[in-house]
A = this chain, B = another copy of it.
Amino acid sequence: MKTTALVIIDVQKGLDSPALGNRNNPDAESNMASLLTAWRKNGSPVIHVKHNSTEPNSSLRPDLPGNQIKDVVKPLTTEKLFEKTVNSAFIGTDLEKYLRNIEIQNLVMVGLTTDHCVSTSVRMAANLGFKVWLVDDATATFERVSYNGNSFTAEQMHEINLASLNGEFCSVVSTPDAMALAN
């Protein structure tokens, strides 16, 4: 019996917008694709999550081309897709119910962005009782300016956010380590 689902969060074309600034982990999508290939090959559950933004200026609005999932991790019609309007993949969706129904307790989570939708979904998955592995090099985020005006690189944002999650909400692993979980 397959026990571990791959959850791919918000890997959408609109997140390539230059307006978002510099990003880390340029190979994140190809690592996600490697994991997706492994999960499909093993017949393990794959969950796609897509963000339908309600923000007026977001490139992820459902009426814009940026809403589309990137081709590199495009869902098959036979794979489950959950659409959401907030950061957490568990709010306003049937994701929790679906995972309970298929008796999945373990989640390997990847996607965009590390500190917004991925972190929020990982935290909530863990607090709902799922065991979570978060893949360091199959997630990525953007540079940000703090509330006090200090600037941080995308890599700083990524690493410190993962440091907050690791051990408390999930195990942070690499793509090669995560491949071994495609049971």
Contact = CB atoms under 8 A, between A and B. Distances in A.
Interface of A: 86-88, 91, 115-116, 119-120, 123-124, 126-128, 136, 144-148, 150, 152, 156-157, 159-164, 166-169, 172
A144 B161 CA distance: 11
Contacts of A166: 146-147
A25 to B, nearest CB: 13
Query: How many chain copies?
Result: 2
A56 B138 CA distance: 32
Contacts of A167: 147
Given A145-B163, A157-B163, 19 more contacts: A86-B126, A88-B123, A116-B164, A116-B168, A120-B123, A123-B123, A124-B124, A136-B147, A136-B148, A146-B159, A146-B160, A146-B163, A146-B166, A147-B163, A147-B166, A150-B159, A150-B163, A156-B160, A161-B164
